[in-house]
Amino acid sequence: MRRPSIVIGRTVRRLAGPLEPWLADVYRAIFFDVDAFARRIAALGEMGLVLEIGCGEGALITAMARRMTASRFVGIDLIPQVGRLFDGDASRVEFACCDAEAALARFEGRADLVIICDVMHHASDAGQQVLWRAAARMLKRPGGRLILKEWLKNSTPIYYLGYASDRFITGDRIRYELRRKWVEDIVAGQWTVEDEWSLPPWRTNHAFVLTPPALR
């Protein structure tokens, strides 16, 4: 999960005051259409429990909750004010400041869907392995899915703009990867690729819909 190390972004948000939610949405939309992603997820069908690892301030859960009205949502992150910009029916949503291993103790085998959206590139190799293992164990058997969404490494101008945003505005150290690296990790972990999505507004946004390996 991303570390709470925001530098420029934290200052700008503090100065924005009541305009912060609007400003955050406008800035995010430059790189990623969260609503379009939520629509693709909702098209998979209603689910009992959806758990997002690294949910940040709750943008994706807000968008999903508006469309998946019979589902319950849990968002976890390491930032102290996790989910603070969530806007919707709070009775179906829970946020917790914790890591994936801590959440696993409570949610093992309970999630219909686990989402890891733009989080893996913030983690070390060891941290990524923790996320893969925790996601696999959180999912129900059979029928559980993991959606891994990442910003793919390439040579386009928007890729470099996204890199600069993550590296210098948030202050995080990041490692974007080519699609083939994620495929190698998926194969190594014995996950099955059910589908792949290129997400607007840039094909650099890429998601894998995965079914988990057999529990070992």
Phi and psi for 197 in degrees, rounded to 5? -125, 130
In this predicted model, which residue has the larger pLDDT, 18 or 174?
Answer: 174
Q: State whether residue 211 is helix, strand or coil.
A: strand
Percent of the chain at pLDDT exceeding 70? 88
Predicted pLDDT of residue 56: 94
Indicate if the pLDDT at residue 7 is higher than 50.
no
Type of residue at 73:
F
Q: Strand locations in the chain, DSSP E?
A: 49-53, 72-77, 93-97, 113-117, 145-151, 192-199, 205-211
The SS3 call for residue 189 is: coil
Q: Which CATH number fits domain 8-211: 3.40.50.150, 3.40.920.10, 3.40.50.300, 3.40.50.1970?
A: 3.40.50.150
- Mean pLDDT calculated for residue range 121-144: 96
Q: Tell me the pLDDT band of 129, cut-offs 50, 70 and 90.
A: very high
What's the pTM value of the predicted model, to 2 decimals?
0.90
Give residue limits of the domains in the chain. Answer: 8-211
pLDDT higher at 112 or 169: 112
